[in-house]
Structure formats: structure tokens, C-alpha cells
Structure 1
Amino acid sequence: MLINLKRLVKNILLIVIILLIIFIVYLNCVSFFVSDSIDFDGLSLKHHNLNVTGLGRLIVPNIVHLIQFDNPFISFITFLCIKAAIKFQSPDVLIIHTNEKQLNGKYWDRLKENEQIQVEKMVKPTEIFNLPLAHVYHSSDVARLIVLMKYGGIYIDSDLLILKDLNSFRRFECSIGWPENEFIGNQLIIAHKDSRFIKKWFQSYKYYNGSSWYFNAGQLPTQSILNSNPEYVHRETKSFGVAPEILYLYSSVNNKSDWIDKFHTIHLLERHRSYLIPSDSIRYFNEFNIKSYNKTFGSMARDILFDSPRLIT
């Protein structure tokens, strides 16, 4: 009977240890998605230059977000941007938010086994404050704000290329590309879930204008929020690459030291390239023709895919 009692105690201890391990793993997983709540109005009273100098610790979770609505196929450009995010940012998790049942295509087949990548089902916003959204791209504009208010993290467009890690910006409440004398770019947003600007930006959709392509995504938040309260964000005028760099990417050859010095990220303008650079010899990029594409973008892509910017013949 004593032997049976000892065996029972041993089994109970083993179960307790297993449950404790499971609980620790669960807490670690939750920490990927949940950042501490922060009262930035109160914090800014103590740290007057909060979004200039940043805090002494990382406050934005290392989560990269992409949004893809009404299209189950991962393109080569999106594949490349995901590969760059994994390679250079090394996120705890990269979440693709989509309303599709499943993602497809040969490029998705190359990504889906990566444990850092998760797919999260998201209902595509079709209205905002009872106002119907006019286009899927406006749905994406709204969705990125919803995602950042829920999780915080690093939002990237599906044609936004990360060229080096963004961890230095995770010390700020919110970081955004805001070129001189221009509106903000929403292709890259790095924000804590309690960011004051993100909340006010979302509320500004009460004045949604579906007839204007970039009114709510760039013009209105710049004019009505940031021009009077620039302290809500950390402003990057150049290094986020949100201003059109079409000639730099597709009409010139710049070496790696140049683009690494100038940019943390760069917007590839994939949907606009055909009419902005009509003379470009390649209409659709892939893993084969990129090897010999002798322009800056070709060098960037080869550095991501083949660990060297050099031409491959």
C-alpha cells in the first residue's frame, strides 16, 4: 500500500509539472500578442520628448502584420516582402490577416511551413461609422488601424520591403513615414496598441470620403491631427521610403551600402510601376528574372533571396 501511495504522489507531481510547463508556454505565446497598457497622455507629462527620444525599453511588440482581402494568392512581391520581414526583422510572429478561407499559390507553398507565419481570419470592413467603404483598399486602410489597436506591432503593406531591422522604433509610441511638406504614408506603421494617434486616426473616419483615394489614409490625419499634435508620433521623413522612389528602384543602379544608409524600408509601388516606368523590360517579377534584373530593386531582391545583391547569370 505504501508503494502504491508513493507511485500516486509521483504521478501527481508529474502531472503538476506538465501543467506548469504548459502554462509557461501559454504565457510566452500570449506575450507575443499582448503588450502592456500605457497611458501615453500621462506618460508624456514625464517624458516631454516621448516620441523624439523614445523610452529606454521596447514597448511595441515584435509582431509584423499584413492584410490581404479578396485574393487568396500570394504574389512574388508579397512573398519577397514576407521573406524580408522574416530575415531582417525576425518577428516573434508574422500575421497575415485575410478574409479568404485559405491562401494559395506556389509562393504560399514556400511560406506556409514557417512557424513564424500565422494566418488569422478577419472580416473585411465594409463600412465605418455607418458609412459604406468604397473600395477594398479603403477596407485595408481601416483594417490596419483595427489590428494595431488590438495587438500593436509593425504593419507593412504587401509591397513594403524591410531592408534592416526596425527595433529602434519599437521604443516609440508610434512611428510613421511623414516626408517634408507631404502627407503621412500608411504603408508602414509601427505602433503600441494604445497609441493616441492611431485611436484618433480611426475616429477621423467619421468624416470618411469614399470619392478621394487618400483623403482618410493620409490627408485628413495629417491635417486634422498631426499638424497640430506632431508629438503623437515619431516622424521619419526619409528612411521609411514611403515617398515615391520609383526612379531609385527601377531606373538606376545603387549599391547596398547606399540603400542601407538611406532606408529602413521602401515602398515598391508594385501596382503603379507599369505606368510610372512603362519602359521597364519586366512586367511581372519572379524568382528567375530577378536574378538578372540590373536595377536597384533587383539588387535588393537578390540580397533577400540569395544573400547577395550581385547579378546571377
Structure 2
Amino acid sequence: MFMLLKGHYNKIEPASGAIIMACGIFLIGAVEAFPILDVIYGKYLAFFLLVAWVIIYKDLSIQFFHRDFLIPFIQNPVNSFVIGTWIAGVSVLCNVFLRYFPEILLLTQAMAIFNTFLWLFFLANCIYNFKQLLFDHKDYPVHGAILLSTVGTQSIIILLNNVFFQFPVYFSEAIIILGLIFYLAGISLLFNRYVRHHNWTLADDWANTNCIIHGALSITGLAIVTTNTFTPGFITYFWVLVFGLLISVEAVEVVRAIKRIKLYGWNKAIFTYHVTQWSRNFTFGMFYTFTLVMQENPFYPIAGFLYNLQRTFMDYWAWVTLLAILWEIAIFMKARMTTLYHEKLISHKTTR
């Protein structure tokens, strides 16, 4: 492969696109509950997000074309699904641009077209990997990252409808159904991993990415209410399903956190950073955004009692989403400062 590079490069976690996903979805959803952040500081936050995107995606792009990264990455039937974070990250950033910088629509559309081609590559990768996992490596230890197949797919149809025009319903339905097929394939693999097999523990083997169990359905719901596909009755039941999964999965997360604190102490269990934790922030923000757009779309009338439930829950959920993202930024900064401190110590010792 003549395009592949050799030599030194800045290594970056392949799932770092989740940082853009998590911060971006806050800026197009839950931020509406905080007018000061939205109206006064929104454009500044969006600009900082753009800077972060440039830094992260520059390193991701350079790393992608290095032989020692690309070949093992593509050959891993689970980890290669994190390309979905790259696609969803660009999709979310484009929607942030639409909200705060509508005057750069042409640039946003160009990014959307590029992202669509990246998704086509990802689509082929998803089909191949699902074949591997469903038929050739049935007992491979999967986790929620495989559901990024759904996240990346649904983010594309949302992006295209928002950035260009309302696509024909049958086209949007086809993409959304494809995402749901990926979801069902992923859930069957997770069921096999966590229900049929018992050689795992909640503290050590339940992955951060498993929150995408509800997050992938939240973005599916957002795709539906963005494109006006499916019926109002369907989306009502669908929202209730996603809400139930959100409560159930996050209850498991609480139990997991308690078990990890008992086993490893507060620092390792709660205060240690890992890039996959951003997936939780993304799923929290995505559920808020799904609910918000559903309420604002007159095509989907909501029964009074359900609307009141949603509004009450969202009043609290906005704060949960904000505090969760501030927490993640704090432990990210802590991890970065610790790394820089150790690097400085090593450099000092080698120069003595």
C-alpha cells in the first residue's frame, strides 16, 4: 500500500472523535437550558470546539495513514467501529456551525459531502466486521463501540437533511432502517457477550461504551424527528423505549461505579480519565436533543401527560448533562497535566 507512511507521529486515541461528539451535541441541545452559555458565550464555545476539532482530526488523519496503525486497526473487528466517532464528530460540528455560524454554509456543506464519503468507507467496514463477528468470530469480546455503526449512519442522514434540504422520505427511511439493522446486529452480539456468557464481571468487563445501547437509539429518534419519517404514534412509543433503556443502563453504571470504588478506590474508579468516557456525555446530550427536537416538531404531537413528563425530566437532565461534561473536562485536564509532569521529569533526567 504505497499511500501508507512510516516514521514518527503523534499517537492519538482513535476514539478521540467522541470529544467533539460530546461537546458538540451539548451546544445544539442542552445548551438551550442555559441562556447565558447559549446567547452570550455560544459562538466562543463553538469556536473552541472548532479549534479542538482541527487539533484532534489533524492527528487522527496523520495517524490513519501510518502502516503500524492502520493495518492492525482495520483488522480489529471491534475497535475499527470507532471510525463512527469521526463521522458523528464531523456531523455534530456541522450542526453546531448551522446554529452559530450560518454565514459559512458553503464550508459546512463541503464538510458534509466529505463526511458522506467517509461514511461510505465506514459502511463497507461495518458490513465486513459484522460478518466477521456474527459468523466467523462469534465469541469475540465485543462492547458498545459496535453500535457506533448506528450512530455514524444516523448522524449522516441528520446532517444531510439539515445542511442541504429535506430529502425524500423513502431515502431517509432507508438510511434510518439501515442504522436500525446495524443496531439489532450489535445488540445480538452484546446479548451473546453479556447474557449468554458468564465469564465477565461488572466492575472490569462492562465497558464505558455500553451506554451507546441507549445513545444509538436516541440518535435514531433524532433522525426520525428531523426527517419526519415514521408516525407520531411510533415515535411516542420509541421515546418511551429509549427513556427506559437510559434509566436501566445508567442504573447499571451506578452499580458498576460502586463496585469499582470498593475494588480499586475512588481515584482509579472515578477520577481516572479514559477517552471512552466521552461516549457517556454524548449519549446524555443526544437524549436531550432528541426530546427537544421531538417537542419542537409540530409533525409529532405529544400527549399532555407525556409532554409534562418530558419537560420535568429535561429540566433536571440539562443539569446532569452540563455537570457530566464539566466533570469529564476536569478529569481530562487532570490527566493531561499528570502526563506533562511525568514527561517533564523524564526529560529532565535524560538531560542531566
- After TM superposition, the score normalised by the length of structure 1 is 0.31
Larger strand share, 1 or 2: 1
Relative contact order, CA 8 A, sep 6+: which one is greater? 2
* Structure number with larger C-alpha Rg: 1
Bigger proportion of residues as helix: 2
